[in-house]
Amino acid sequence: MQFFQYGNEGYKSVLDPRTKLLLLIVINVVIIGTGFTGTDFLLRIVCAAIPLILFLIIRRTRTALLYGLVCLAMFFGEAVLIPHTRGVLNLLIVITLGPFSRILVGYAFAYYMMCSTTVSEFVTAMKRMHVPDQISIPLSVMFRFFPTLAEESRAIRDAMRLRGIRLRGKNGGVMKQIEYEVVPLMMSTLRIGDELSAASLTKGLNAGKPRTHICHVKMELWDWALVLLSLGFLFYMLVLR
Amino acid sequence: MENKLNTKDLISIGIFTALYFVVVMIVAFVGYVPILMVIMPALCALFGAIPFMLFLTRTKKFGMVTIMGVLLALLTFLMGRPWPCLPIGIAAGLLADLYLKGTGYNSVKKSTFGCGIFSLWLLGMALPLFFGYHDAYLQSLRSGYGDAYVETLTRLTPDWMFWVLAVTIFVGGLLGGLVGTKILKKHFVKAGMA
Amino acid sequence: MIKLQNVSFHYKNTDAFGKLQKTRGIDDLTLTVEKGAFVVLAGDSGCGKTTVTRLINGLVPHYYDGELSGTVSVCGLDVRSSGIGDLAPHVGSVFQNPRSQFFNVDTTSELAFASENLCTPPDEIRKNIRRVAQEMHMDELMDRSIFALSGGEKQKVACASVAVSEPEIMVLDEPSSNLDAAGIEELARVLALWKAKGKTVVVAEHRLYYLTGLADRLLLLRDGKLVEEIPGEQLRSMDNAQAEARGLRSFTPIAMPEPEAPSAEKDALVCEGLDFHYKHSDKGIHIPYLHIPRGKITAIVGKNGAGKSTFARVLCGLEKKAKGTVRFGGREWKSKQRPDLCYMIMQDVNHQLFTDSVLEEVMLSVPETVPEGEREALARQVLDQLDLLPLADIHPMALSGGQKQRVAIAGGVVTGNPVLLFDEPTSGLDYKHMRQVAALLRKLRDDGKTVLVITHDTELVREIADCVVVFSKETT
């Protein structure tokens, strides 16, 4: 669970989180709502290219390459495999590729967003958009908690292996397995959560009270350019089509 | 008792949403088999209900369940799902919250029902499987493969399947709520933690 | 600065049977801490020292429910009527658990957090962060993910994060529990810095040796009451026997015993050519030859990052890809078989407890080879050995920390594994409980187990170790 973490240490995000959110929406709307001909197709290509370029900008060359290849495979699958296969195989390909190609681009962009934005940037951006504390506080706690849960669950799994709790054998059974894994995780959650609340309160966290942010979040030239592009796409989708 | 959500409540929401989401993701990851696709959301609802029932023991104020719905909807959206997942998640959270408010947040039996309602946010996760087929995508296929083919496809994942899915998710949530209640009694009440 | 007048506090909580009960926090306590004083609170677990720290930062009575009587004033604020948020600008708190006291995922955000909540202008916060980072020599810790830090580094960040907003009072609740010797040294340096800057510092702690040089006063609490007040001068002239007489941990540092080369025996636990490295990390071990005598207690010591935990994981078969051989009792144990050779009692035993009663918990570990009819008898026998039989039906999570640890040990003993490995069994324990653990380890050894103890606790090593093995980056 490496959501919104400091994956790229030392790297500063190029785009404002607000721009990213808008782009995510637009890419979503375009990819779901367009067909494979004419202007529609052109828009799809542009949207599919955006994550590719952004991955390259944050120097995630391998991710970019992988994404590019999967995109090509999708295209190949839909353009070549589907017309040339018959029967069950054909159906399987369609069922697998269909939903996947719908969400691939959005997925890739969401991934870009996760690895190029820190929690602080995201929360600061939310504040700028006047999102209330009732949303922004739980949201930042949630992102902070993912890695903690991963750590806890690793420790619990180790303990299970030490005790020989496996799917098969005397302590077997899926339900038992899940009980042994989820219950200690919930216990930890309660305990850590309690301590986390206490620590945050002593640091003056108070819902509804104004706070400042040291995080730099600012719309730059690039942001505005992409906002314009997004609005153009939306105009096409909602009005022109 | 004060009815406004305080900082501690908000932190609780964040923590339990993370836990809930992780459980759902684990189930979804393990169950990523095409055949299981149809019942997978129900399985997610079933297992997610266990931490959700624990969350309900910490919930005594209106708004907490709604916010959890909002956060889950936002996460679903951030994971690249189509935008209608947002209203679906928010509506599921709000409805469950309104229902639980009516019960005063302290009836275990009724919590189970609330858990079923809440689970419906998962429909947002399953969205790409459905309506996506019935717009331009299908039309573009029609020209290439002919009507018969498209008909087969439509029959396999028709819109009404979405509603069938809603029912299975709801039932999954209910069953999960029962399992969750059992686990709460067996572990958390006995350990003096709930 | 801080004034407690006839203060009593009782926590409200539910017991294992769901009944509401009251636990004493402190009982009719009166104490004053002047501005700029450095005060150490000592005493057994449950003596009320943590409650005092909570009264200062307002967590009691505003976060932990209970009954409060008497008056508490901090910086002229009445704690009862002002909220935790009102005290936040004046009091900075550092807690025991490095896993749970950070709100943010990166260090810089965490340092800024308290000041942001106080609405300090961003430029000023940045300036303060730079200053604190310089004072504490932690420039290399800035802009890092908190999850990639060691325990010592985390505690340093925790201290820095309260220092940025410049509160007058610092309260620390067992800050050294999870630290090794080097980490404790760093912590002591930070505390000295605060003292020099004239901050009022209150530390509740079991380990005292690193505080004796700094303390203006040591307050000894017992059963919620103040029983003795030792001025700093006197404290520095006292020896460890006087600490022991008061049930306290040593006042002066205890040197780690020199490692003794274990004598060669033929049925010892022998590791040869153990080699394992984590992916994407420089952590790992390389042990050409290691010899651990059978039926003795061997302490494994060394700095954080020297590979002690990795060794433990390899020995228990948790790292299947580890190379090398492990021999014991005249045969070789492959990775897959090692869970039947060595059982580990983890530092956080909470991860190791799965079932809903102590008896179930132990039954879970009974080997499959034991016939159905004898399983429960065997489990009960082990429980009896560890004085746990009266607790057989209680949920493990309802027990105290020490009892939980004993349940985890019972789970290990019942497996019949000849080797038991303990990871930091005394972290955060007071003198009395440390002695209890020591006695238990000796008992296990006398029952014929080969006991390995990974620890930073020199007092424990002195107390129990038959042999000492030192791990360092160079040797592993």
How does DSSP assign C144-165, residue by residue?
-BGGGS-HHHHHHHHHHHHHTT
Centroid of chain to Cα C262: 29
pLDDT at C15 over 90: no
> Residue A236 gets which letter from DSSP?
I
SS3 C72: strand
Average pLDDT over residues B152-181: 83
In sequence order, what are the beta bridge partners of C66? C11
Quick check: A31 and A47 in contact, CB under 8 A? yes
Check residue A2 and give its pLDDT. Answer: 45
**Which range among A118-122, C354-358, C412-416 shows the weakest confidence by mean pLDDT?**
A118-122
Which residues on C lie below 8 Å from B187 (Cβ)? Answer: 356, 395, 397
Which residues on A lie below 8 Å from B183 (Cβ)? Answer: 179, 182-183
| In chain A, where the domains are located | 7-118+218-240, 121-202
Which residues on A lie below 8 Å from C159 (Cβ)? Answer: none
Check residue A15 and give its pLDDT. Answer: 87
Task: Give pLDDT tens digits for A75-128.
Answer: 787 777 767 777 677 767 766 676 677 678 888 888 888 888 888 888 889 888
Alpha-carbon span C79 to C93, nearest angstrom: 15
Cβ <8 Å between C102 and A199: yes
> In chain A, whose CA is at the least distance from the CA of B8?
A197
Q: Pairing between strand C66-74 and C77-78?
A: antiparallel
Which residues on B lie below 8 Å from A133 (Cβ)? Answer: 10
Check residue C145 and give its pLDDT. Answer: 87
* Buried/exposed code over C390-400 (b: 16+ C-beta within 10 A; e: otherwise): ebbebbbbbbe
Alpha-carbon span A178 to A173, nearest angstrom: 9
Amino acid at C249: R
Task: Give pLDDT tens digits for B118-149.
Answer: 999 998 887 766 655 445 455 555 555 555 55
**B175 touching chain A per CB within 8 A:** no
| Interface test mutation site (partner B, options A145, A156, A185, max chain B beta carbons within 10 A) | A145
Check residue B133 and give its pLDDT. Answer: 44
Query: How is the beta sheet containing C20-33 ordered, strand by strand?
Result: C20-33, C2-14, C66-74, C77-78
Quick check: A205 and C117 in contact, CB under 8 A? yes
The Cα-based distances of B85 to B77, B126, C271, C292 in angstroms read 7, 9, 56, 59
The Cα-based distances of A210 to B77, C88, C161, C474 in angstroms read 28, 15, 20, 52
CA distance B64 to chain C (A): 19
Higher pLDDT, C88 or A57: C88
pLDDT band at C235 (very low <50, low <70, confident <90, very high): very high
pLDDT at A34 over 80: no
Stated length of chain B = 194
Check residue C262 and give its pLDDT. Answer: 62
Q: State the virtual CA torsion across C395, C397, C400, C406 in degrees, nearest 10.
A: 80
